Amino acid sequence: MTGPPPGRPSDPASPPPPDPDPGPTPGPASSGKGPSDAPVDPPPPTYRSPTPARPRTTDLAGPRLKVARLHPSGLLLDLPFTPPPGAAVYVATFWPESTAPNGWSYLQWERGPHGRGLQLPQIIDLGDVLGFRAVTRPQLAGVPRSTARPGSPPPSPAVHVIEWWGYLHAVERGALVLHGPHPTLPAAYAAAQHALAAQVWAPDAADRSGRGPTAGGPGAHPSREPAWREPAQPPASVSLTWHGDTATVSDPRFGWLHVDADDLAAALTLRSDDLVRALRPLVRGIDGTEPPVTLAALAALHLPDLPNIHTTPPPPTPPPPEPPPPVPDAAQPEAPTGPDLDGPS
């Protein structure tokens, strides 16, 4: 890389750098008063709310686990995708930051010695969102420099960008396990949060921790029901997780909703309009735009104040029986149905 990205990654108030400018950019040795032939590498991946879609890695299989080699010195030797030839690759860690203008901050990874690999930062943990960007600046073919007008800037080459969003799923001996690609930064963050929640709610989470019951833990008070544990960050998307007799619905507006699985299943059979009318006096902020699974979870949490959702509806009334067919009169002779072929008797 020939130049650092604008802004200081360590400063949370510094917004993520802008998208790379395909036009001429002053190089490190340039004074900035005119165009320079020295190319400047673009900054790491950035996130902006709705902008034209960027080219991303073509992965028809969808997000899945990717294993990348990790050198003992902390160098990431492999990439989760294959960048095109001549592309400059950048990696950064992203996290939510309230002081940033777009709500996200980042830290760019440094290149390893001899130009190989990427150095992991000192602070990185499971669930961190990672953004990879491969930038290619192809030169314009068939345009000799002598044809340019004196004093005019050279033509701007096209910039091709490929992005890969994922999160750190696990760290194994000599490898990093990444999960991706996800379409956007918020999508990768939501997937990482859902994976963290699934790990927290695993039945054997307490056994894997290797810690005994603390003074305030549920093991010290057998009569006290164990409290639900949940990620500290509010949910970033709507999701549903079943775990045994209970279920958890995550919603960015209402948080983590832990309910009984049977109550949730019963509430899901009701119409959303009926749940909205019943929940408006009980839950602040209900406006009818909530997903059905969120309404069902809120209804399951307010069962004492709602009609019994487990009551089975009465069976439908059977239709009235059809009248019996008319019985022919035995005294009345039957009408002939055709000519008598046997002749008179």
Does the structure show a pLDDT above 90 at 126? yes
The whole domain housing 94 covers: 65-138+158-202
Considering the domain boundaries, does residue 259 fall inside one?
Answer: yes
Q: Do residues 186 and 80 share a domain?
A: yes
Q: Do residues 81 and 168 share a domain?
A: yes
Q: Do residues 248 and 185 share a domain?
A: no
Q: Do residues 118 and 245 share a domain?
A: no
How far apart, in whole angstroms, are the C-alpha atoms of residue 208 and residue 66? Answer: 24
Query: Mean pLDDT across the stretch 62-70?
Result: 88
Neighbour tally for 43: CB within 10 Å: 24
| Per-residue model confidence (pLDDT) at position 244 | 83
CA–CA distances in Å: residue 325 to residues 47, 212, 334: 77, 80, 17
- Burial letters 222-231, b for 16+ CB under 10 A, else e: eeeeeeeebb
Q: Do residues 245 and 166 share a domain?
A: no
Residues 6 or more apart in contact with residue 311 via CB below 8 angstroms:
none
pLDDT band at 305 (very low <50, low <70, confident <90, very high): confident
Considering the domain boundaries, does residue 84 fall inside one?
Answer: yes
Amino acid present at 171: V
Q: Residue 187 is encoded by which pair of tokens? A: 């999508």
Q: Do residues 186 and 269 share a domain?
A: no
**Count of domains in the chain?**
2
| Per-residue model confidence (pLDDT) at position 43 | 54
Q: Do residues 181 and 275 share a domain?
A: no
- Burial letters 301-332, b for 16+ CB under 10 A, else e: bebeebeebeeeeeeeeeeeeeeeeeeeeeee
Considering the domain boundaries, does residue 116 fall inside one?
Answer: yes
CA–CA distances in Å: residue 257 to residues 45, 201, 212: 33, 13, 27
Does the structure show a pLDDT above 60 at 154? yes
- pTM, two decimal places: 0.58
Percent of the chain with pLDDT over 70: 61
